[in-house]
Amino acid sequence: MVVQVGNIQIGGPQFTVIAGPCSIESENQFMTTALAVKTSGAAMLRGGIWKMRTSAKAFQGLGIEAFDIIKKVKAATGLGLVSEVTDVRQIEEIAHIVDGYQIGARNMHNYSLLKELGRQPKPVLLKRGFSAFIDEWIKAADYVLAGGNENVILCERGIRTFETATRNTLDLNAVVYAKKHTQLPVIVDPSHAVGIAELIPQLCYASAAAGADGLIIEAHPNPAQALSDGPQALTLETFDKTMKQLERVLAAFDRRLQKA
């Protein structure tokens, strides 16, 4: 099944890369990132407005202050945006500036939020909970589908295992399983899966080879200064190199990158 997100199609023959910072931090940071990832071949932007941080003391996102920044960046790049909603009230608040709603790993089991998104016209990118069985993830998608919103994209973002050397463990089994057992597009978030920037390019190539429909990748102009998830943010230069190699991997499977 193909899901339309703004101007792009996810789940068709082409491979879609969504990229941007973990959090929108400032106009300069988001604009610089967006223009660069577009030049490198990303078809859609990501960027957090409200963040689900483990610590209440950590940066929680700009909230409504991000809205004007988003309008300027979308106008300058012509790219669509997916951003996370953490509360049903935010669905309406950001309807005018997003092309798709992201449900974060921590909210995969928030069925009232999923039911509300089932009543919305815009697509939903549903992250897998880090301790969710594949079956629970697929059933969570059903909450959105059952409400009448058929535009759901599954996103594997790594699960908790006994391993501590990496942030999570990318479960490529889940990608091939979900592709086989559902009609929904499946994308991979290698950034949260591994949590270490230098390991991300290889996971991008592996995801493409495994048959994912796309990727959602965190990038930042200055990862050391990032207000969230700096250790896993690709520099804009590394993002560009990764996209070039990704195109070669895709070509081996007779696929190519979707251009915005």
Q: Which amino acid is at 52?
A: M
Other C-beta atoms within 10 Å of 224: how many? Answer: 9
Q: How far is the CB of 42 from ligand PEP (least distance, A)?
A: 15
d(CA 235, CA 128): 26
Q: How far is the CB of 169 from ligand PEP (least distance, A)?
A: 13
Q: CB under 5 to 8 A by kind: which of ligand PEP, Mn ion, none does 156 bind?
A: none
Q: CB under 5 to 8 A by kind: which of ligand PEP, Mn ion, none does 105 bind?
A: ligand PEP
Nearer to ligand PEP, 106 or 255 (CB): 106
Q: How far is the CB of 19 from Mn ion (least distance, A)?
A: 12
Contacts to ligand PEP by CB under 6 A: 22, 48, 52, 104-106, 127, 157, 189, 192
CA 209 to chain centre: 18
Q: How far is the CB of 104 from Mn ion (least distance, A)?
A: 9
User: Would you say 117 and 147 are in contact if contact means Cβ atoms under 8 Å apart?
Assistant: yes
Which of 15, 19, 17, 18 is CA-nearest to residue 233?
Answer: 19
152 CB-near residues (< 8 Å, 6+ apart) = 3, 123, 124, 126, 141, 144, 145, 184
Nearer to ligand PEP, 235 or 245 (CB): 235
Nearer to Mn ion, 171 or 229 (CB): 229
Nearer to Mn ion, 22 or 210 (CB): 22
d(CA 25, CA 143): 32
Contacts to Mn ion by CB under 5 A: 22, 229
Strand residue runs (E) in 109-223: 124-127, 152-156, 186-188, 214-218
Q: CB under 5 to 8 A by kind: which of ligand PEP, Mn ion, none does 52 bind?
A: ligand PEP
Q: How far is the CB of 105 from ligand PEP (least distance, A)?
A: 4
For the chain, count helices (H), then strands (E). Answer: 9, 10
Nearest-CB residue for ligand PEP: 104
Q: How far is the CB of 202 from ligand PEP (least distance, A)?
A: 19
Q: CB under 5 to 8 A by kind: which of Mn ion, ligand PEP, none does 157 bind?
A: ligand PEP
Question: What is the C-alpha end-to-end distance of the chain, expressed in Å?
Answer: 19
d(CA 21, CA 37): 10
Nearer to ligand PEP, 171 or 189 (CB): 189
Nearer to ligand PEP, 184 or 193 (CB): 193
Cα dist. 105→84, 156, 195, 241 in Å? Answer: 10, 9, 14, 28
d(CA 94, CA 101): 9
Q: CB under 5 to 8 A by kind: which of Mn ion, ligand PEP, none does 72 bind?
A: none
Q: CB under 5 to 8 A by kind: which of ligand PEP, Mn ion, none does 134 bind?
A: none
Nearer to ligand PEP, 148 or 231 (CB): 231
